Amino acid sequence: MQPPPFLDLIARLNEVLTAQSTTAATAFRDDLLAALPELRAFALSLVLNPTRADDLMQETLLKAWKSQDRFEPGSNLKAWLFTILRNQFYTECRKAKREVEDADGAAAAQLITLPSQEHGIELKKVWAILAKLPASQREALLLVAGQGMTYEAAAVVLGTQTGTMKSRVSRARAFLADAIGVVAERATA
């Protein structure tokens, strides 16, 4: 037994097809109506949900109706309809992969991106403070903290002793912390 909304759709489709009253339209209507039970069974086998199967059937019938001029009379209508139904099913599956159910808006709230200009302003402030450092301290800090070099490797690059490198980096960090307003952890501990 077909569900009432589905039977209503068939009745409306039958009315429109009957109004055309050409031989091709009558043959298309009769073949389309004859294929409906098998088409619905195929839709149910794909989605396993009667409501979704009915939606899939409705989309298939609408696409078939819109494209009936592409159907060649005398060819296999059932195969054509099954292809439309299968392609519609795959299209819905692809759409579902991209969609995220977000009833309460929690996922959308996580997608907020802070304006990039704020980061740019902060970066300009840091560069301005770095420019105030003596060149030797700035180079030492950028090699150790910026490039991730060890004190020993940075000392070799700058041609100085490891202890001198540690001292320069320490003084540069202290100056930056003071200029930015960060309280040193050692002082508060």
Q: Which residues of the chain have pLDDT under 70?
A: 1-3, 6, 17-22, 113-118, 183-189
pLDDT for the residue 88: 94
Domains of the chain are 4-100 (1.10.1740.10), 118-188 (1.10.10.10)
123, 128, 133, 137 alpha-carbon torsion, rounded to 10° = 30
pLDDT at 56: 92
Query: Count of alpha carbons within 13 Å of 130, Cβ hemisphere only?
Result: 14
